[in-house]
Amino acid sequence: MWVALDAMGGDFAPQATIEGALWAVKEFPELGVYLVGKPEILSPLLKKKSHKRLKIIPASQIVGMDESPIEALRNKPDSSIRKAFELVKAREAKAIVSAGNSGAVLVTALFVLGRLKGVSRPAIATVLPTLKGYAVLIDSGANVDCKPRHLLQFAYMGNVFAERILGYKSPRIGLLSIGEESGKGNTLVKQTHDLLKQSKLNYAGNIEGRDFYQGDVEVIVCDGFVGNVCLKLSEGLAEALMAMMTKEIKKHKLAVLGFTLARPALKKFKRFIDWRERGGAPLLGVNGEVIITHGRSDAKAIKNALRTALGFAKQNITAKIKEALEIETQSQKAQDSER
């Protein structure tokens, strides 16, 4: 099962992408990785570490992290992002992974693969650990200005994801707001609340930022601006707290000893807060399996994103979302005609 990796994408590419791909093919025997990028850069790096399930696919252009997505799409037809998507389109690769310019990944996904029927806005779904298990945050960054019906679609896609990938039966859907009562929130949230209440989803009502990690819902719905701020705030706060704690500990000799003793117990905790363990986030609602991973991805993060891609490809998540949305659309139509 082959996955296309944008080997030039991300702050630490191509070292991190190549190391990550190598790690992944060793760990996952079913996985093959197409390294899409400049052969003159990739070949020398791969020389001593070649592997029969790593193959370079040439792409002569690179999209910069700060480049305008639309201009990149227009002016760089031979970029590593574009070539990687074309491998998916041609069914040579089952999924794509990129740590590159996420705006460019988004527009290229729409251009090359297209939207699923019934989806107006594809969205990024990020899996977060909670005190009770996992939750999907959707949208975590694809759409900054949304309408209520977009958030309703995010809820449907998140629902399929939580059911099929995370294995929750009838996942509880929470709408991110600033108070649990229905009247609380901004205009977008209040209107979405009404749509969700009328839907067939297992809607648990508004949740607050404070409930994010409690695990009382399995799907957290919000617009991509709020979602992205929340995601990065969580990463930043976890890092800041660790830094602060380490600094305080270092001031006391006994505390250093104590902390050393506690280290094995803290391993699981560290995994809990480490985004590199997460394995990237799928872009849901496009016609193919797309995994977006952090621009700061190192080899470990790339390896884990490839693991996610493999899982998505095996389970054919896109087909499942397509099916779920079609059933939803039909039942919606039936409901409408009954009225």
Binding residues for a second copy (CB under 8 A) = 66, 68, 130-131, 141, 144-145, 176-178, 181, 183, 185-187, 189, 208-214, 223-226, 228-241, 243-245, 248-249, 251-252, 254-255, 257-266, 268-269, 272-273
Asked if residues 56 and 37 have their Cβ atoms less than 8 Å apart, the reply is: yes
Which residue number, 105 or 313, has a Cβ lying nearer to a second copy?
105
* Shortest CB 71 distance to a second copy, Å: 11
Which residue number, 163 or 208, has a Cβ lying nearer to a second copy?
208
Tokens of 243: 């830094």
Q: Is the dihedral of CA 220, 225, 228, 229 positive or negative?
A: negative
* Shortest CB 130 distance to a second copy, Å: 8
Q: What's the Cα-to-Cα distance from 208 to each of 3, 188, 205, 211, rounded to whole Å?
A: 37, 15, 10, 5
- Tell me the residue ranges of DSSP E strands in the chain: 2-6, 32-37, 54-58, 95-98, 123-129, 134-138, 173-177, 203-208, 219-221, 281-284, 289-292
Tokens of 230: 């929340």
The per-residue DSSP string of 101-126 comes to -HHHHHHHIIIII-BPTT-SS-EEEE
* Shortest CB 271 distance to a second copy, Å: 10
Asked if residues 304 and 98 have their Cβ atoms less than 8 Å apart, the reply is: no
Which residue number, 30 or 277, has a Cβ lying nearer to a second copy?
277
Q: What's the Cα-to-Cα distance from 316 to each of 140, 217, 306, 323, rounded to whole Å?
A: 22, 25, 15, 11
* Shortest CB 231 distance to a second copy, Å: 7
Which residue number, 171 or 224, has a Cβ lying nearer to a second copy?
224
* Shortest CB 126 distance to a second copy, Å: 13
Residue pointed to by tokens 């389109």? 89
Which residue number, 169 or 268, has a Cβ lying nearer to a second copy?
268
* Shortest CB 16 distance to a second copy, Å: 19
Tokens of 308: 């996610």
Which residue number, 124 or 309, has a Cβ lying nearer to a second copy?
124
